[in-house]
Structure 1
Amino acid sequence: MAHGTTGTGHHPFSSGRAPGRTRRTRGLLRLTVLLTCLLAGLVTAPAVHAEPAYAAYLDLPSVNGDGAGGGGLHPALPLDPDELRVAVDQARAANIAPQRYATLLHQYWLAVAARNASIDLAAWDPDRGVATNSHTFIQVYVNYLRLNNAHPDFYWLGLAGLAGGSFASGFFDMGDVSAIVSVPGLHQVGNTVADLLRGTPAELLDLLPSDIRLLATEGERLTAADLSWYQTRLMIMQKHIFIDQVPMHEAYAAEGQAAIEEMYRAGVLDENAVLAWRGIDGGTPAGLADAALRMTDREQNQIIADQWDATSSGRGAMGRVLTYVSTVAGKAAVPGVRAPGVFAPTTITAGTMSLRTPLPAFNWADRDTRWNYITNDLLPRYLELSVNQAVARPILAEPFSDKLAAGRLLRRLPDLIGDMTAEWRLTA
């Protein structure tokens, strides 16, 4: 035998284990090494941080700010105020410029406003019709008065609540459509005007405003489709006003002037609006009155002016007929305020003849004349009321359902028709 070998022929340092077992052992060793390396990599590699909630909501445009669609301002934004608040707080903490999270911020306060008003923002869609939206339509005005009674310095809300009673009454009057598509109040008003015009000399008829002639000639042709269209237009404007005005009131109620200034820096509010809030924050009678004027100006001349234009020019002649009927029948439930036809009656003269009618010489849908009525009658009477809170509080605290019932056209129709016929004065 050769030196260094055994009788079996194996190498002296061989373990004697089978080759398959050796391969398995080596495989286990390699797996152990690999797992150790992977674990070491997990410990030493940089942690992957989740993207903050606000990041997905930066630079979003407000695509539903005009109230025409359902839901909130942008479909990518949640509607839950708690979820939105997390994102707003993160954006604030990260020192993000407010302009970049403007729509997120606005949506947050809008969601707060809807929750506090007991309104389902997700279901609030004017295109879904009157039956679906009637509760929300009323709830908007209930909420105006709720906020004003909790914060008497919020003058605009009180005015919106009182004027809203008349507005909402007219809205539901237009829903009183019978099986033969007859609207009792509206048709009677139109027929009464037509009868009065038959006895008016042609020389004067030619000088009458076109709205009066349209009411007489087209009023009886109103259809259910016309009324439904008009009600949808009113619901859109109502939601637009809520989207604009109520979030800033809720923001101030919750976080004071700092929240208003943030909305201003974000571009949600303009200089006119922030000056109004600075006046409210100052608390002086002059500041509160100025704020009421500025907010009313914002509502009427910035927010819904274009929508009134589109409504009055829509659906052929019926847009003018319906907006004028609203003017004839409208009278805000503010003590001392005059009906539009009393404030600005239509008076015309031809030679020695003159005609004085109780019909308004303006249409509420027209910007300049609407603003003239607001600033020279409606707003001054409301400010007089607001100065005397002992008188104002019981009026503003009256249940909205009572205000709604008192404003219904069918309830007021005998007096309205009586005034129209008694005050139609022709002199030669």
Structure 2
Amino acid sequence: MRGPVRRFSIALLLSVLLGALLTPVAHAESTYLDLPTLNGDGEYGGGLHPDLPTAQQPLLDALTQARADGIDPARYSTLLHQYWLVVATDNAAIDLAAWDVNRGVAANTATFTQVYVNYFRIAAARPDFYWAGLAGIAGGSFASGVFDVGDIGTVLSVGGIHQLGSAVADLLRTTPPQLLTGVPADITALATLAPRLTPADLAWYQSRLMIMQKHIFTDLVPMHEAYLALGMAGIHEMYAAGLLDDRMYAAWQGIDGGTDSGRADALVTMTDREQNHIVADQWDETAAGRAGLGRVLTYVTTVAGKPGVPGTRAPGVYAPVTVWSPIAAGSPVGLRMPLPAFNWADRDTRWAYLTADLVPRHLDLVADPAHAVMVYREPFPGKLHRGRMLSRLPDIIADLTTQWQVVPS
């Protein structure tokens, strides 16, 4: 019986081997597929989903496997986004796992500043990335007033806002009553509500600003890193994954095309995405918060803010308030105030200011790339120092008390 058994065993072995050769080899199932983005708005610590690593190599391994398996990019969209986000934070010297706005101002001050340092790093290396340069200059100006390194004693402090509110209240008391009904609500709120501001209100507002900052970084910086590493192939994969819409894809094509008009169009598109899509709802929520004080704080930001792009006007110079009211024999009398006629939290007027003043002045700057790079490479502490609102507080108060006037038609 040994012979038949041996022949049977050999036949069985051959059959198994032949079956193995004829059966297609199945790829190992890719990991991290079909994960939702849970932290795209930047409101919590870490990355986009708690199951995803915050180190590059395991993310790249999973991404490489998904590509090799021919997986639809839409199924690994969050994995792809997380990978480029980790690349972005690593290049920015930011610890993504520890980037948690809920830890408070002190724990996040270095990261808050480092975001703008990174925008300048990108813009200096690639001056054709106009949006990165604008985000660094305008955002850095904002940072200098709100999160001055080691010193939050600026206009955006409890005492500073109380001073502004008191100055406006004093001036309103001397204003003809016929004109008071025409004074914008933001100004009367500044006078009546600012004295109620507490440190807790200010800390809440600063946390809201940190959330929006992380949201912008999370959305726009990863696509910059993808383009830097892979060119349009990286942008196309993000587009196929649903991370970019048609307008953003066209914006990157404009940058890739190397023309001034393409880069300018990309600047407008990216700025629109930032202000009208990424943080628009968050500005609305911030302005509506804290029983009216959210609106006061967003207006104080507008009063005291002046983006550092050369030639850009302060909001109160760009659109000052003048209230007209007929009070005698049909003759109009005006109340002129050195205060902005809009609130930065309102998307339509914010966008009008950006497109009428800020974006055109930035295009003037980048028309001379060598000068623009010199601006980008200036050490960030110097930019912070020039933008400090603390040193500008006396001038702001002086403007309020000397330029507030009733004028005839």
Do the two structures share a fold, i.e. TM-score over 0.5?
yes
In the alignment, is residue 219 of structure 1 matched against residue 219 of structure 2?
Answer: no
| CA distance in 2: counterparts of 1:126 and 1:182, whole angstroms | 19
In the alignment, is residue 423 of structure 1 matched against residue 403 of structure 2?
Answer: yes
Q: How far is 1:177 from its partner?
A: 6.5
Secondary structure at the counterpart of residue 273 of structure 1? helix
In the alignment, is residue 344 of structure 1 matched against residue 319 of structure 2?
Answer: yes
Asked if the contact 1:156/1:295 (under 8 Å) is kept, the reply is yes
Q: Deviations over 1:50-84 (max 9, x none)?
A: 984x7231111101000001100011111111111
Asked if the contact 1:71/1:124 (under 8 Å) is kept, the reply is yes
Residue identity matched to 1:360: P
Residue of structure 2 in register with 1:82 after alignment = 57
Aligned pairs for 1:3-402 (under 5 A) are 52=28, 55-172=30-147, 183-351=158-326, 352-402=332-382
Q: Deviations over 1:328-348 (max 9, x none)?
A: 000000100000000010111
Residue identity matched to 1:418: A
Q: How far is 1:182 from its partner?
A: 6.8
Q: Structure 2: any 5+ residue segments left out of the alignment? A: 1-8, 327-331
| CA distance in 1: counterparts of 2:123 and 2:312, whole angstroms | 20
Asked if the contact 1:60/1:103 (under 8 Å) is kept, the reply is yes
Residue of structure 2 in register with 1:5 after alignment = none
Residue identity matched to 1:420: L
Residue identity matched to 1:155: Y
| CA distance in 2: counterparts of 1:66 and 1:293, whole angstroms | 22
| CA distance in 2: counterparts of 1:285 and 1:266, whole angstroms | 29
Q: Which moved more, 1:184-193 or 1:299-308?
A: 184-193
Residue identity matched to 1:166: S
Label 1:356 to 1:94 Cα distance change in 2 as closer, same or farther (>3 A).
same
Asked if the contact 1:176/1:183 (under 8 Å) is kept, the reply is no
Q: Identity of counterpart residues, as a percentage?
A: 62
| CA distance in 2: counterparts of 1:152 and 1:172, whole angstroms | 27
Asked if the contact 1:173/1:410 (under 8 Å) is kept, the reply is no
| CA distance in 2: counterparts of 1:362 and 1:350, whole angstroms | 19
Label 1:290 to 1:174 Cα distance change in 2 as closer, same or farther (>3 A).
same
Asked if the contact 2:31/2:62 (under 8 Å) is kept, the reply is no
| CA distance in 1: counterparts of 2:320 and 2:114, whole angstroms | 34
Q: Deviations over 1:76-109 (max 9, x none)?
A: 1111111111111111111111101111000000
Q: Which moved more, 1:403-412 or 1:264-273?
A: 403-412
Asked if the contact 1:81/1:111 (under 8 Å) is kept, the reply is yes
| CA distance in 2: counterparts of 1:173 and 1:404, whole angstroms | 7
Label 1:150 to 1:320 Cα distance change in 2 as closer, same or farther (>3 A).
same
Q: How far is 1:258 from its partner?
A: 0.8
Q: Deviations over 1:94-138 (max 9, x none)?
A: 111110111100000000000000000000011110111111000
Q: Which moved more, 1:382-391 or 1:263-272?
A: 382-391
Label 1:177 to 1:290 Cα distance change in 2 as closer, same or farther (>3 A).
closer
Asked if the contact 2:128/2:263 (under 8 Å) is kept, the reply is yes
Q: Deviations over 1:298-320 (max 9, x none)?
A: 00001000000000001111000
Residue identity matched to 2:335: L
| CA distance in 2: counterparts of 1:233 and 1:175, whole angstroms | 19
Label 1:229 to 1:418 Cα distance change in 2 as closer, same or farther (>3 A).
same
| CA distance in 1: counterparts of 2:26 and 2:208, whole angstroms | 44
Aligned-CA RMSD value: 2.4
Residue identity matched to 1:148: A
Label 1:208 to 1:87 Cα distance change in 2 as closer, same or farther (>3 A).
same
Asked if the contact 2:60/2:83 (under 8 Å) is kept, the reply is yes
Q: Give the alignment's TM-score, normalised by structure 1.
A: 0.86
Secondary structure at the counterpart of residue 299 of structure 1? helix
Label 1:174 to 1:198 Cα distance change in 2 as closer, same or farther (>3 A).
farther
Q: How far is 1:403 from its partner?
A: 1.1
Residue identity matched to 1:297: D
Q: How far is 1:185 from its partner?
A: 2.3
Asked if the contact 2:146/2:152 (under 8 Å) is kept, the reply is no
Q: How far is 1:172 from its partner?
A: 2.2
Secondary structure at the counterpart of residue 119 of structure 1? coil
Asked if the contact 2:73/2:241 (under 8 Å) is kept, the reply is yes
In the alignment, is residue 413 of structure 1 matched against residue 393 of structure 2?
Answer: yes
Q: Deviations over 1:333-379 (max 9, x none)?
A: 01000000000101111113101111001000001000000000011
| CA distance in 2: counterparts of 1:393 and 1:185, whole angstroms | 35
Larger radius of gyration: 1
